[in-house]
């Protein structure tokens, strides 16, 4: 018998603490598999955020550092500057990256820090019980937008990939999704490419992964995959927003 699919060695034995059907687990697998396939787990250091994935340090089998809320790109900068041979990544949610951590995100990109940012966008704050995020959609009901997000008082969602693509320091920005198996395969390609970029010293790469939050969206895991397709992808189109390797190829 040949193994077609088994758990990545870059994931620990610890059972994941995410809700049933939460796509964090899928994204963890893609990151773990990419690092493992590139053979760099020995020199990888990951930065865990504050949010549902705060305990990512328990699930990845590489060295990890837990960062204050939003500060992962700055912590990653310190690691990257201290470990020239290191492969440094952050794993952040929408509050961590797009609210409290916007400055750190923008400046790490603008400096072209040689790191990978995995941005998990599920349009809500999961860990603290379902509050509005900077990426919550207009009209979306959350605990702190109980009548639906009103753009007149709460403003508009932020499209991170589009924003970071305007910076010269950004080498690669792609938005993907993990709500279907074909999308998962494309997401893995993007994540692996981001790590390849870093190993080649190409600078700042970000992969924004549209994700579900069944618990706080009030949907079953399978319904949540559909909700993402119907509501999130129109506002956050999938695709490559910047890729210096494509430009180099021209």
Partner 1 sequence: MANRVTVNEQICKGCGLCTSVCPKKIMVINRDKLNAKGYNPATVIEIEKCIACAMCAIMCPDSAIKVEKE
Partner 2 sequence: MAERILMKGNEAIAEAAIRAGCRHFFGYPITPQTEVSAYLAKRMPKVGGCFLQAESEVAAINMVLGAAAAGVRVMTSSSSPGISLKSEGISYIIGSDLPCVILNIQRGGPGLGGIQPSQADYNQATKAPGHGDAHVMVFAPSTVQEMVTCIFDMFDLSEQYRVPAMLLGDGLLGQMMEPVEFPDVKVTPAEKPWASNGHQNKREHNVVNSLYLQPDQLEAKNIERFERYAQIQANETRAEAFETEDCDVLVVAYGASSRIARSAVMNARAQGLKVGLLRPITLWPFPQKELLEASKTAKDILVVEMSMGQMVDDVKLALECSKPVHFFGHTGGIIPTPAEVLEQLKTIAGGAAK
Q: CB-based contacts of 213: which residues, under 8 Å, 6+ apart?
A: 19, 22, 122, 123, 124, 126, 130, 224
Q: Does 81 bind partner 2 (CB under 8 A)?
A: yes
Nearer to partner 2, 61 or 184 (CB): 61
Q: Which is nearer to partner 1, 81 or 185 (CB)?
A: 185
Contact (CB, 8 A) for 83 and 45: yes
* Rounded Cα distance, 94 and 107, in Å: 17
**Binding partner at 85 among partner 2, partner 1, none, C-beta below 5 to 8 Å by kind:** partner 2
CB of 113 to partner 2, least distance (A): 10
Structure letter (DSSP) for residue 49: -
Phi/psi for 236 (5° steps) reads -115, 85
Minimum gap (Å) between residue 87 Cβ and partner 2: 8
- Interaction of residue 6 with partner 1, rule CB under 8 A: yes
Q: How far is 112 from 55, CA to CA, in rounded Å?
A: 27
Phi, psi (degrees; rounded to nearest 5) at 51: 150, -165
Nearer to partner 2 by Cβ, of 64 and 176: the residue is 64
Binding of partner 2 by 91 (CB under 8 A): no
Q: Which of 177, 69, 172 is nearest to 117 (CA)?
A: 172
**Residue 29 or 149 with smaller CB distance to partner 2:** 29
Residue 89: count of CB within 10 angstroms of its CB: 29
User: Total residues contacting partner 1 (rule CB under 8 A)?
Assistant: 31
Pick the binder of partner 1 from 84, 146, 147, 181 (CB under 8 A): 181
DSSP string, 56-71: HHHHBSSEEEE--TT-
From residue 24, alpha-carbon distances to 29, 79, 188 in Å are: 9, 24, 13
Beta carbons within 8 Å of 80's beta carbon, 6+ residues apart: 86, 88, 113, 114, 115
Q: Does 44 bind partner 2 (CB under 8 A)?
A: yes
User: Does 133 engage in binding with partner 1 (CB under 8 A)?
Assistant: no
**21 makes contact with partner 1 (CB under 8 A):** yes
Of 77, 121, 179, 205, the one binding partner 2 (CB under 8 A) is 77
- Span of 19-27, 62-70, 163-171, 196-204 interacting with partner 1 by CB under 8 A: 19-27
Q: Which residue stretch of 38-46, 136-144, 170-178, 237-245 sits at the interface with partner 2 (rule: CB under 8 A)? A: 38-46
Is the Cβ–Cβ distance between 60 and 12 less than 8 Å? Answer: yes
Only one residue has tokens 């603490």, namely: 17
Q: Enumerate binding residues for partner 2 (CB under 8 A).
A: 12, 41-45, 47-48, 54-55, 57-58, 60-68, 71, 74-83, 85-87, 103-104, 106-107
Q: Enumerate binding residues for partner 1 (CB under 8 A).
A: 1-8, 11, 15-16, 18-26, 28-29, 180-181, 184-185, 214, 220-222, 225
């Amino acid at each position: 018998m040949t193994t077609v699919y088994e758990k990545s060695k870059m994931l620990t034995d610890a059972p994941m603490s995410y809700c049933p059907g939460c796509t964090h687990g899928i994204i963890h697998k893609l990151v773990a598999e990419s690092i493992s396939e590139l053979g760099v787990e020995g020199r990888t250091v990951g930065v865990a955020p504050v949010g549902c994935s705060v305990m990512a340090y328990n699930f990845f089998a590489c060295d990890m550092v837990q960062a204050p809320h939003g500060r992962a790109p700055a912590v990653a900068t310190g690691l990257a500057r201290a470990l020239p041979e290191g492969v440094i990544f952050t794993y952040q949610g929408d509050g961590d990256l797009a609210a409290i951590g916007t400055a750190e995100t923008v400046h790490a990109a603008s400096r072209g820090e040689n790191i990978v940012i995995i941005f998990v966008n599920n349009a809500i704050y999961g860990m603290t019980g379902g509050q509005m995020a900077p990426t919550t959609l207009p009209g979306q009901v959350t605990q702190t937008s109980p009548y639906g997000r009103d753009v007149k008082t709460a403003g508009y969602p932020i499209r991170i990939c589009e924003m970071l693509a305007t910076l010269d320091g950004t080498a690669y920005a792609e938005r993907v999704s993990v709500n279907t198996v074909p999308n998962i395969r494309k997401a893995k390609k993007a994540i692996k490419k981001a790590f390849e970029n870093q190993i080649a010293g190409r600078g700042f790469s970000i992969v924004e992964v549209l994700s579900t939050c069944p618990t706080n969206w009030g949907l079953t895991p399978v319904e949540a995959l559909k909700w993402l397709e119907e509501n999130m992808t129109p506002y956050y189109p999938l695709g490559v927003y910047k890729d210096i390797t494509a430009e180099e190829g021209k």
